[in-house]
Structure 1
C-alpha cells in the first residue's frame, strides 16, 4: 500500500489531517511527522509514494525538505501546503512543483488531491524488459525524452535515472545519488525499465558527465 508522509509543525492541524484522512485507509497509509528533520529520517527508513509538506517550519523548513527530496528521491512527488509567502515565491515554486493546496483547505480536498497525485504517478509511459543500458541510453537520447526511469536488475536491485530532454540529470541508487549512483546502475545487465512522467516540473542537474564517460567508468563501454 502507498505510504504518504505528511509534514507540518502544527500538531493540532496534523492530528486533524491524520484523523480525517483515515477514511482513505484502504487507499493509502498516512504517516505524520512534526518537522523536516523527522521527515528526512522517515524517508531514510521507509519507502514513501508521496510527501505532503508545509513550507514554514522551524529548523529544516519545507524548502530545504523539498530540495532534499528532489536530490535524493527524484521519483517521489511532493504536494506543497501553502499558507504563507509572497506571490513571487509562489510563482517560483510553481515552476518547479506541480501540486499545491492553499491553506486553509478542506482535508477532504487534500485527500482527493493525494489520490489524484498517486494515480498520476502510477501511470506508466511504458515498460521494457531485458534491455541493455547502452541501448536504452541511445533511445532516451534520440527521442529527447523527459522522464523518470526505474531501473531494476535481475536480482531485484532498483534505482532511478532522471532525464530531461534526453540528458541524464540525476540518478539515485540506495544511499548514492548523482554520478556515483549512475555508474553503479550502468553496471546492471539486461534490466527491466519502467518509464514515468517526472513528478516535478524542474530538476537540478547533478550529473555533468556524458553517458559515454559514465559507461566507460562503469566498465561497460
Structure 2
C-alpha cells in the first residue's frame, strides 16, 4: 500500500485530505505532520511514496521543505498545496522539482488524479533504477591487474566530460564494456546510448544507418527515417569497429563532429544533434591512414582520449576473478547451482593462450559448468576446455 506524508499546519484541512485519501477504497496509508520541520524529520527517518506539502507554514515553509526533501530523498514526488495567494510560489516550486500543485480547497478528482500520477511516476523511477542496476551488472568491469586498474582510473576522469574517446584492442577484450562504463558514469547516463556495429552494415547502407534518409533517396527508401545520430541525441553514440567505415561515411561523421549537425541522405536540410561519440576498433588506424583507408582528420577528432584494452594473455592474474564472475552469472542464467573451480583448474586456465580473449573464456566457463563436476577440476579443464 502506498504511503503518503501530508504536511499541513491547518488541522481541518488535514482531516479533509486524510478522509479523501483513506476512503479511496482504503488505497493509501497516510501519515501527517503539523509543520514543515516535523515533516522534514519524518522524511529523513521514514520511507514515503509521496509527499503532499502546504506552502505557508510555521517553522519551515513549503519551499524550504521541498529543497530539504530533494536533498534527502530526491526520488520522492512532492505535490505542493497552495492557497489562492500562493499560486506564483506554487508555479515556482515546479522549477525547483515539485511534481505538481493543488489549490485550496482541494477538488476531489483533481487531488486523486494528481496523487495517482505522482505515484505512477515514482513507480517508473524505481523501475528505471532497477533496470539501470541490471544493465550495470551486465557491464561490470572485472579485474584488479595494473592494466585494468589504469583503465578504470581513466574512465573515472573522462566519463563526466564530453571528450570523445577511441577504444582500441583485439576482438573479445571488452571494448564495448568500456564504452558502456563511460556512458553510465557520464552526465548523459539518463539519455540513450546507441550502438552501431560499422563492420556489420554494408558500405552502401552505412550513411543511411547513421544519418537517416528521406523518402525517395534511394530505391528502397519508402519513407523518411531517422538515423542513429538523431536517435542518440542528448546521449551517446558508440561506433564499434569504426575502422570498417567507408570513406564517404567518415566524411559525414567528421562534419557531425565539427559542426554538431547532420543531414539525412537525400536531403540538404541540417539537423542539430547533441551527441557524445565513443568509437572502438581492433585495427591499427595509423596504418589504415597510411594506406588511405581512414581519414587522418577524423582519427584526430575521435582520439581525444585513447584507451587501449589489453588482451587476456596480458592480464592472466585476472582470470580467477573472471572465472568466478562468469560462473555465478552463467549458473544464474542456466538455473543451476554455482560451481566452484579448484586452484589447479584455475592455474591451468591461466596457462592457456587466449586468442579469443574474454569472450572465449566465457564460452569455456559455460562449457565447464554444463559438462564438469560440481567442483570443476583440472581434469575437467583438460577434457572440456581443450585448446
Supply the distance in 2 between the matched residues of 1:94 and 1:43 (Cα, whole angstroms).
Answer: 19
TM-score, structure 1 normalization? 0.58
Q: Tell me the SS of whatever aligns to 1:24.
A: coil
Contact 1:11 1:34 in 2 (8 A): yes
The residue that corresponds to 1:40 in the other structure is 40
Is 1:54 paired with 2:36? no
The residue that corresponds to 1:119 in the other structure is 120
The residue that corresponds to 1:203 in the other structure is none
Q: Tell me the SS of whatever aligns to 2:23.
A: helix
Contact 2:5 2:51 in 1 (8 A): yes
Contact 1:50 1:78 in 2 (8 A): yes
Instruction: Judging by fraction of residues, say which structure has more strand.
Output: 1
Supply the distance in 1 between the matched residues of 2:35 and 2:3 (Cα, whole angstroms).
Answer: 17
The residue that corresponds to 1:30 in the other structure is 30
Distance 1:26 1:89, change over 3 A: closer
Q: Tell me the SS of whatever aligns to 2:4.
A: strand
Supply the distance in 2 between the matched residues of 1:106 and 1:98 (Cα, whole angstroms).
Answer: 17
The residue that corresponds to 1:217 in the other structure is none
Is 1:82 paired with 2:82? yes
The residue that corresponds to 2:198 in the other structure is none
The residue that corresponds to 1:138 in the other structure is 182
Supply the distance in 2 between the matched residues of 1:91 and 1:43 (Cα, whole angstroms).
Answer: 23
Instruction: Judging by fraction of residues, say which structure has more helix.
Output: 2
| Alpha-carbon displacement from aligned partner over 1:141-198 (angstroms, at most 9, x marks no partner) | 5682348xxxxxxxxxxxxxxxxx78xxxxxxxxxxxxxxxxxxxxxxx9xxxxxxxx
Distance 1:89 1:73, change over 3 A: same
Deviation at 1:83, TM superposition (A): 1.1
TM-score, structure 2 normalization? 0.35
Supply the distance in 1 between the matched residues of 2:87 and 2:23 (Cα, whole angstroms).
Answer: 34
The residue that corresponds to 1:2 in the other structure is 2
- Cα RMSD (Å) of the superposition? 2.9
Matches of residues 114-193 of structure 1 in structure 2 within 5 Å?
114-123=115-124, 124-125=127-128, 127=131, 128-129=133-134, 130-131=137-138, 132=140, 138-140=182-184, 144-146=188-190
Deviation at 1:22, TM superposition (A): 1.2
Supply the distance in 2 between the matched residues of 1:105 and 1:62 (Cα, whole angstroms).
Answer: 17
**Relative contact order, higher structure (CA 8 A, sep 6+):** 1
Deviation at 1:50, TM superposition (A): 0.8
Is 1:99 paired with 2:100? yes
Higher mean Cα deviation, 58-67 or 108-117?
A: 108-117
Is 1:19 paired with 2:63? no
Q: Tell me the SS of whatever aligns to 1:68.
A: helix
Give the gaps of 5 or more residues in structure 2: 142-151, 153-177, 192-233, 236-324, 326-387
- Number of aligned residue pairs: give it: 150
Distance 1:47 1:137, change over 3 A: farther
Supply the distance in 1 between the matched residues of 2:69 and 2:115 (Cα, whole angstroms).
Answer: 17
Deviation at 1:61, TM superposition (A): 1.1
Give the gaps of 5 or more residues in structure 1: 148-164, 167-189, 191-221
The residue that corresponds to 2:68 in the other structure is 68
Q: Tell me the SS of whatever aligns to 2:21.
A: helix
Q: Tell me the SS of whatever aligns to 1:139.
A: helix
Supply the distance in 1 between the matched residues of 2:11 and 2:28 (Cα, whole angstroms).
Answer: 21
Supply the distance in 1 between the matched residues of 2:183 and 2:61 (Cα, whole angstroms).
Answer: 39
